[in-house]
């Protein structure tokens, strides 16, 4: 199964209340190690919904580390959920993949 398809199927299952099957499909998608923030956001939200705090913290943190602005609606939800479950959102300066513009050279 295509990793994008697996992520979509997992998210649809999650949104329809089938948390167990959703997490199973998501785990298979994550094994492909596709570095997309959305995948980790989905995995983190699923983990949070099943009270798996450590996995939720890890996955939401990974999503925000990969791209702190991965989605204008979901990124703020990830930050809020991470704080709610006791995690800390990575700062853009500590993020290994922040997409800040390079500073200009001195005159």
Q: Is the separation of the CB atoms in 63 and 41 below 8 Å? A: yes
Each residue of 29-78: pLDDT tens digit?
A: 888 888 999 999 999 999 999 999 999 999 999 999 999 999 999 999 99
Instruction: Give the model's pLDDT for residue 16.
Output: 97
What is residue 64's three-state secondary structure?
helix
Predicted TM-score of the model (pTM): 0.77
Mean pLDDT, all residues of the chain = 84
- The larger pLDDT score, comparing residue 104 to residue 33, is at 33
Sketch the domain layout of the chain as residue ranges. Answer: 3-84
Instruction: Give the CATH H-level superfamily of domain 3-84.
Output: Tetratricopeptide repeat domain (1.25.40.10)
Whether the per-residue pLDDT at 93 is higher than 90: the answer is no
């Amino acid at each position: 199964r295509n990793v994008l398809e697996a992520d979509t199927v997992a998210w649809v299952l999650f949104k329809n209340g089938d948390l167990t099957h959703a997490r199973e499909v998501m785990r298979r998608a994550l094994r492909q190690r596709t570095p997309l923030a959305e995948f980790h956001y989905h995995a983190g939200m699923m983990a949070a919904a099943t009270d798996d705090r450590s996995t939720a913290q890890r996955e939401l943190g990974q999503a925000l580390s990969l791209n702190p602005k991965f989605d204008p609606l979901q990124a703020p939800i990830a930050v809020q959920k991470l704080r709610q479950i006791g995690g800390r959102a990575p700062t853009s300066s500590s993020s290994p993949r922040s997409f800040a513009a390079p500073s200009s050279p001195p005159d």
